Amino acid sequence: MQPTHQSPRLLGLDAARGLAVLLMVVVNYDIVLSFGIEQPAWLRAVFDACSGRSASCFVLLAGCGFVLLGGARALCRRALCLAVLGYGWYELWPGDILHHYAWYLLLGAATLRLPAPALFALAAAAIGGFAVLFSQLDYGSDWNWQELEYTTFWTPLGQLRSATFNGLHPLLPWMAFAWCGMGVAKLDLRATATRRGMACAGVAMHTGSWLLSRWLGGELPAPQWLRSDWYRAPAMFYGLEPLPPGPLFVLSATGTALLVVAALLWTADRARGARLLQPLIACGQLALTLYVLHVLLLFFVLQPLTAGLVGGIGKLPTTAVCIGAFDTAALLGATWWRARGRQGPLEALLRRLSGPRPRTGA
């Protein structure tokens, strides 16, 4: 199949990026405003379902953007810009993904010319590489889990370990999402067969990972021909949580992302679907601006306003209200902004600093 370097823009990718950003708001607001609160249980389940999935979809779409951007030099310039922003505000926002994104950009630039099969192979190697490191190193040695704080971040060894192994979104295995996205972008994303293949692969990966996780975790009965527990793996290998990001989490989250992207590509190609998705498309085209804005509002407005609320039963609903208010405002505001033909302020600045504009959907 031929790479998708043509215009017009692939609006389905913008819609998927917009959805990912809005769901990242759910995760980040939950961490800061209601970390450790478990009630009401149904709302906790909703928040937990977004954990890791939104960021993994965002990184997979970033990988698509690396290919569609059109040049290693532009990727490296963007990496520098995002590293300055991400590291610069780390003390304010330790959950930042932008400084990790900078590392993804650099590796993406180095592997930009590889064909899709090689990129998918690198994705598999990233998953396996993390499993090897996890078996040899202490994953939690740099963490204060009670405060969700990475205690050695500003030390040289802490920087190395955070970027490559045990940060919130380290290269191993999170680069697997970016390489997968790069491989997907090398295919003909306008072809029905490609989209159908992405959807089928997504369903198979997500369902298979979920079943295997339950089986290895002892929640489903083992096949009769297995008469011992020799196949039981450490929890990291069968868990579906993003910390630590075990192989089944990566496969499951990749499957979810592929299914969502395929569905939104198909929907956005239809006139009625494109109209319905316009708010999400607008959010996707202002993703960096919205990401930075949601963090600034979180720490300078919402956190002070909610600081006086005590008791677990009150915080999750309050967090949900904050999430709903921001996401609604983002959908309405981004739609209004883009209807006037304006680029996002940070998108325009980043494009000016990093060179040529994306060719499609990036």
Q: What is the pLDDT of residues 243-278, one digit of tens each?
A: 889 899 999 999 999 999 999 999 998 888 889 999
Enter the DSSP assignment of 149.
E
What is the domain range of residue 97? Answer: 11-354
Enter the DSSP assignment of 307.
T
Does some domain include residue 59?
yes
Query: Phi first, then psi: what are they for 228, rounded to 5°?
Result: -145, 175
Query: What is the distance between the alpha carbons of residues 320 and 27, in angstroms, rounded to a whole number?
Result: 11
Are 355 and 71 in contact, with CB atoms under 8 Å apart? Answer: yes
Does some domain include residue 1?
no
Give the pLDDT confidence score for residue 226 in this predicted structure. Answer: 47
Give the pLDDT confidence score for residue 147 in this predicted structure. Answer: 78
**Total domains in the fold of the chain:** 1
What DSSP assignment string belongs to 265-324?
Answer: HHHHTSHHHHHHHHHHHHHHHTHHHHHHHHHHHIIIIIHHHHTT--SHHHHHHHHHHHHH
Does some domain include residue 361?
no
Environment class of residue 117 by beta-carbon count within 10 Å: exposed (0-12), middle (13-18) or buried (19+)? exposed
Give the pLDDT confidence score for residue 230 in this predicted structure. Answer: 47
Q: Which of 148, 70, 135 is nearest to 109 (CA)?
A: 70
Does some domain include residue 306?
yes
Residue 137: strand pairing partners? none
pLDDT for residue 341 is more than 90: no
In this structure, the dihedral spanned by the alpha carbons of residues 166, 13, 204 and 133, taken in order and rounded to 10 degrees, is -10
Q: Where residue 162 falls among pLDDT bands split at 50, 70, 90?
A: very high
Q: What is the pLDDT of residues 76-131, one digit of tens each?
A: 999 999 999 999 999 888 888 999 999 999 999 999 999 999 999 999 999 999 98
Q: Which of 262, 163, 151, 167 is nearest to 206 (CA)?
A: 262
Does some domain include residue 31?
yes
pLDDT for residue 203 is more than 90: yes
18-22, 159-163, 347-351, range with the lowest pLDDT = 347-351
Q: Where residue 229 falls among pLDDT bands split at 50, 70, 90?
A: low
Q: Which residues contact 231 (CB under 8 A, 6 or more apart)?
A: 216, 222
pLDDT for residue 66 is more than 50: yes
Does some domain include residue 296?
yes
Give the pLDDT confidence score for residue 224 in this predicted structure. Answer: 56
Q: Which residues contact 157 (CB under 8 A, 6 or more apart)?
A: none
Q: Where residue 215 falls among pLDDT bands split at 50, 70, 90?
A: confident
Are 71 and 105 in contact, with CB atoms under 8 Å apart? Answer: no
Does some domain include residue 137?
yes
Sign, CA torsion 136/141/142/147: positive
pLDDT for residue 135 is more than 80: yes
Does some domain include residue 44?
yes
Q: What is the pLDDT of residues 175-194, one digit of tens each?
A: 999 999 999 999 999 999 99
Tokens matching residue 131: 């499993």
Q: Where residue 313 falls among pLDDT bands split at 50, 70, 90?
A: very low
Are 26 and 295 in contact, with CB atoms under 8 Å apart? Answer: no
Query: What is the distance between the alpha carbons of residues 309 and 295, in angstroms, rounded to a whole number?
Result: 20
Sign, CA torsion 15/359/252/250: negative
